[in-house]
Amino acid sequence: MGVVVQKYGGSSVADAEGIKRVAQRIVDAKKAGNQVVVVVSAMGDTTDELIDLAEQVSPLPPGREMDMLLTAGERISMALLAMAVGNLGHEARSFTGSQAGVITDAAHGKAKIIDVTPGRIRTALDEGAIAIVAGFQGVSQTSKDITTLGRGGSDTTAVALAAALRADVCEIYSDVDGVFTADPRIVPAARKRDRISYDEMLEMAACGAKILHLRCVEYARRYDMPIHVRSSFSLKDGTWITDQRDGDTMEQAIIAGVAHDRSEAKITVVGVPDKVGEAARIFEALADAQINIDMIVQNVSAADTNLTDISFTLPHADGQAAMSALTRIQETVGFASLQYDDQIGKVSLIGAGMRSHPGVTAKFFTSLAEAGINISMISTSEIRISVVVDEAQVDDAVAATHHAFDLDADDVEAVVYGGTGR
Ligand code: ASP
Ligand code: MG
């Protein structure tokens, strides 16, 4: 009997009705002859609501308590789902991440999985039960405290369990039918992809596509675990994410999709002396403050000033810390000033076919120019081009690019079944 791991997101289990609907799907998978393991997220916007609550009682809640609080969201949905499955006449047992053997490091709020020992899940399956596991959580190997894997981390729980249990597939259920060529909330004519490679999906997740957690895709690629992203609201086949190694019979699209991200801000270090070692000093200060930098641009020195400007993007959330870290080294580096801009957005074009198709960049920039969109930063990888634009123009940039690369579907395919988009 094959093992199937299914993960249901918060919008799929937003209320009692949703939980009963999901329970029926789980039972159907079991009846089809599989051993079924389910990973579930917190109901609807529960996690956001718990964060709001925490912020009302403390401006800076300790990570340990925050994780204790947030993991409660998944415990509610796992128990309710187990009851709903039981009510359909099948035995289901719920497990916290810790009980399921998800062992992590001790970094509260962003713990990394270091081992998965799913002994109790195995036993439950062998005894004919359906195992239901709370997503996005584990237990620290060292402190034994409860940890969370970061927002959206249930996807990673699902893939990690699937790999540890040698499942045939990890099915990720959400409120859209799969991975689209753009966010259907912005481009209604976005097209569903039947297949995408791990590499493309990694770039899309890193560039803001919220459909899958980045670490989940990294994990799936490392263990070669096929992911099937699909809707819990329909029976349609979704998008398969695999390494596509032997899939050369199908035509490969040049462009996999257009992703966007509004979660970054831009800092410009103005008037940096143009001499050896200054950039190193700036980025060392940021690294010491644990700040992840994304794009970097160093402008050409103005002819006779011997000064340059260095701009980079980083998560909004790290903006304050980065500005303080840079202010501390202002005198030693000798730069003139700092500028902070959080009204930016990043738009990325992703596709493995770019490697062998010249002219993609030119077409991308032309489509943005025709839409009257100014580009303030550019970065590329082998299979991606990203630009930073004014935040107010992100939607237009996504739509223009999608159109220019003929990605628009003839008929609207994208259905957004639920979720508040929060
Ligand atoms: N409930 C958590 C969140 O909202 C984890 C997840 O849904 O994957 O981020
Ligand atoms: Mg999610």
Q: 197 in a domain, yes or no?
A: yes
Ligand 1 centroid from CA 41, angstroms: 6
Among the bound ligands, name the one nearest to the CA of residue 209: 2
Ligand 2 centroid from CA 151, angstroms: 8
For every residue of 15-73, DSSP letters joined together read SHHHHHHHHHHHHHHHHTT-EEEEEEPPSTTHHHHHHHHHHHH-SS--HHHHHHHHHHH
* pLDDT band, very low/low/confident/very high, at 249 (cuts 50, 70, 90): very low
Q: 209 in a domain, yes or no?
A: yes
Ligand 1 centroid from CA 11, angstroms: 10
Residues with CB under 5 A from ligand 2 (ion): 9, 152
Nearest to 292 by CA among 300, 281, 283, 304: 283
Q: By the 8 A CB rule, do 172 and 227 touch?
A: yes
Q: 59 in a domain, yes or no?
A: yes
Among the bound ligands, name the one nearest to the CA of residue 136: 1
CATH code for the domain in which residue 165 is found = 3.40.1160.10
Q: By the 8 A CB rule, do 108 and 63 touch?
A: yes
Q: By the 8 A CB rule, do 386 and 346 touch?
A: yes
Amino acid (1-letter code) at residue 338? L
Q: Which domain, by its residues, includes 241?
A: 3-246
Residue whose CA lies nearest to ligand 1 atom number 4: 47
Q: 277 in a domain, yes or no?
A: no
Q: 280 in a domain, yes or no?
A: no
Instruction: Give me the percent of the chain exceeding a pLDDT of 70.
Output: 95
Mean pLDDT of the chain: 93
Q: 89 in a domain, yes or no?
A: yes
Calpha distance 356→238 (Å, rounded): 27
pLDDT digits over 92-101, tens only? 999 999 999 9
Length of the chain: 422
Q: Which of 12, 154, 219 to mutate to test the pocket of ligand 1 (most atoms within 8 A of CB)?
A: 154
Q: How many other C-beta atoms can be found within 10 angstroms of the C-beta atom of residue 207?
A: 22
Mean pLDDT value across residues 12-30: 97
Calpha distance 15→235 (Å, rounded): 20
Ligand 1 centroid from CA 215, angstroms: 13
> Which amino acids bring their CB within 6 angstroms of ligand 1?
9-10, 41-42, 47, 73, 135-136, 151-154
Amino acid (1-letter code) at residue 330? Q
Residue whose CA lies nearest to ligand 1 atom number 6: 152
Global pTM reads 0.89
Upper half-sphere CA count for residue 217 (Cβ side, 13 Å)? 24
* pLDDT band, very low/low/confident/very high, at 402 (cuts 50, 70, 90): very high
Which ligand 1 atom sits nearest the alpha carbon of residue 154? Answer: 8
Q: 409 in a domain, yes or no?
A: no
Ligand 1 centroid from CA 249, angstroms: 37
Q: Is the pLDDT score of 254 beyond 90? A: no
* pLDDT band, very low/low/confident/very high, at 306 (cuts 50, 70, 90): confident
H or E stretch covering 218: helix 214-223
Q: By the 8 A CB rule, do 422 and 45 touch?
A: yes
Ligand 2 centroid from CA 398, angstroms: 22
Predicted confidence at residue 41, as pLDDT, reads 98
Which ligand 1 atom sits nearest the alpha carbon of residue 152? Answer: 8
Number of domains composing the chain: 1
Ligand 2 centroid from CA 172, angstroms: 9
Which ligand 1 atom sits nearest the alpha carbon of residue 74? Answer: 1
Which ligand 1 atom sits nearest the alpha carbon of residue 73? Answer: 1
Nearest to 217 by CA among 192, 242, 237: 242
Q: By the 8 A CB rule, do 68 and 115 touch?
A: no
Instruction: Give me the percent of the chain exceeding a pLDDT of 90.
Output: 86
Q: Is the pLDDT score of 411 beyond 90? A: no
Q: Which of 65-74, 251-260, 305-314 has the highest mean pLDDT?
A: 65-74
Calpha distance 113→329 (Å, rounded): 35
Predicted confidence at residue 421, as pLDDT, reads 47
Q: Which of 39, 45, 47, 263 to mutate to test the pocket of ligand 1 (most atoms within 8 A of CB)?
A: 47
Ligand 1 centroid from CA 91, angstroms: 26
